[in-house]
Structure 1
Amino acid sequence: MPECLVFRIPTRHPADVSGLVELIDSGKVKADEIVAVFGKTEGNGCVNDFSRPLAVMALETLLAARLGCTPHEIGTRVALVMSGGTEGGLSPHFLVVARRETDEGSVHKGPGSLAVGTAFTAPFRPEEIGRMAQVRATASAVRQAMEVAGITDPADVHFAQVKCPLLISERIADAEARGQTVVTHDTYASMGFSRGASALGIGLALGELTEDQLSDAVICRQSELFSGRASTSAGIELMRNEVIVLGNAPSWHGPLRIAHRVMRDGIDLDAIRGALGDLGLSAAGQLAPSQAERVVALLAKAEPSGNGLIRGRRHIMNDDSDINATRHARALVGGVAAAAIGRTDLFVSGGAEHQGPDGGGPVAIIADMRA
């Protein structure tokens, strides 16, 4: 019977894998049990955020040395999702997700424990990024990840994370040299198209959307189409989609469980409290330190509303030419979430195209159910 393990490791810089070295050396997890790593790195989260590939390179090098293979082989078996940007008080860290096979019975009573599944699409051609080819490939990979996790009911999926590619000048030129067009020549905008197409693919796989609702024309144009469980992050370091599905399944055991809600805007504290309450963690204010320690991870999306308003009041996130709007949004949501949880090592990712309603986004919490 499988058990999902999640470890939160602080980092001093994007290439700092010393915490993971200590974790493996301690025997708490084996290198071959690791199936995914989420990372918050302190770059700008934009096209030229090289903190993400730096972190990936460091993780692949370490795991390859421990497993006796090449770094490239690590990239084919471990989903490495690096999200750049730790604006405000967000703290850089890794979330190491592992799968362990054991004969032990469940350590808590309830309708299943945390389950994880991963899958990968084939590499995309530049002309496929941000279009229906990416939507359909993502949906297929999400279904594969659910099968790996042993999750048969899409309602049991609480968070689906995708790391997806973006366009750069070289990739655009490659497509055009072959007589193909790309979704946009704006490399920063391509991040949104890739995130949006990937999110719609998640929604399609989970039954939140139907294929007849989708086309190239709706991607990043019809914000009313969204998934309440999708989280997607674009980066320069890959050309495929890497998928991590997190849910609860009766075939898994262990003390960890996940719950989610959808934030209607960046200050929707009640959504965070609702997810905490679903896991038996509730407080009128900030969680007490003992309860905060039971929160293994908080994963959330952040996006400035397109109309420039939060509950009728003007914000300037979309109008600031000095600081990108997604960076403002991460700081805002990170602050709200940190105030609720009482800690700042939270996975808050910017850019929520088709990930929750306009200006809002999904929030998922993994907690240890042992009181």
Structure 2
Amino acid sequence: MEYRKLGNSGLTVSRIAYGNWINHGGKVDEEMANNCIKAALDVGITTFDTADVYSDTKAEQILGKALQGIRRESIELCTKVCHPTGNGKNDSGLSRKHIFENCHASLRRLQTDYIDVYYAHRFDPHTPLEETMLAFADLVRQGKVLYVGISEWTAEQITRGAALARELKVPMIASQPQYSMLWRIIERDVIPTCQREGLGQIVWSLLAQGILSGKYLPGQAVPTDSRANSSAGKPFFQRLAQQWMEDHILETVQKLRPIAEAAELTMAQLAIAWVLQNPHVTSAIIGASRPEQVRENALAAGVKLDAAIMEEIDRILTGLVEYDPGKTG
């Protein structure tokens, strides 16, 4: 495993992070989830990503339980706040009330005294940004949060948030956007903004919701063990991955297979390695339903793809890649 400093901070994270969105508490039972977390630790992954909303709060519970007995100082535990965690009128968003209540709930579920990186899961247009950033600042002062991050914010929102963070002396150090060979909307605005403001990128959906793994084949039924057939994953799959589930796109993705084979990589490893070639990407989040997937995909951390491979990938995917920053969030 390789490690990098996150943004302009002193925090070191693993180049591959382990995320337990869809799987833990949903598609994967607790025993298998524990095996996946153990495999992550075994391969040197120290950065773990979750959110209060994942699997209706079960994901945080499972992660917290699985990490008991691990030296707390040896890992970076990250979670998020914003999306609804209840039916009440204050059970969502980035109000001071919701941030404080959900931070305390996350700490209980994760069985920890502090969160390493606490993300605003989305931007909240209905709450003054000053209120949001002051709430984060107070949690930092209390020692319940060490660093602050944002997920799927536009460049303009990041600029405003970073200005307030500086004013309040809050270490805002991380951006967590979607990024893959097919989804590159952060390249034009978000990455330059984050570079200026001192935020590192910890990216998700490296495989474009499984499309880049090569397991979805044109003209064939969706595999029964895929996220597309997971009751926990279906709503998100339909919204994000469905845009790629067309035969001409799946046929084009299959043209990447010879590149992966020539480099002695799986399709998934190639997709993860591609993401990590971007010097502004600090860490890439993988998920898994089996420990073998963790061990296999973690190998992408040390892979270097030469310029010819990167150019060939771009040539193959011409016309399919999304660059529009207006689709952020």
Do both share a fold (TM > 0.5)? no
Between structures 1 and 2, the one with greater helix share: 2
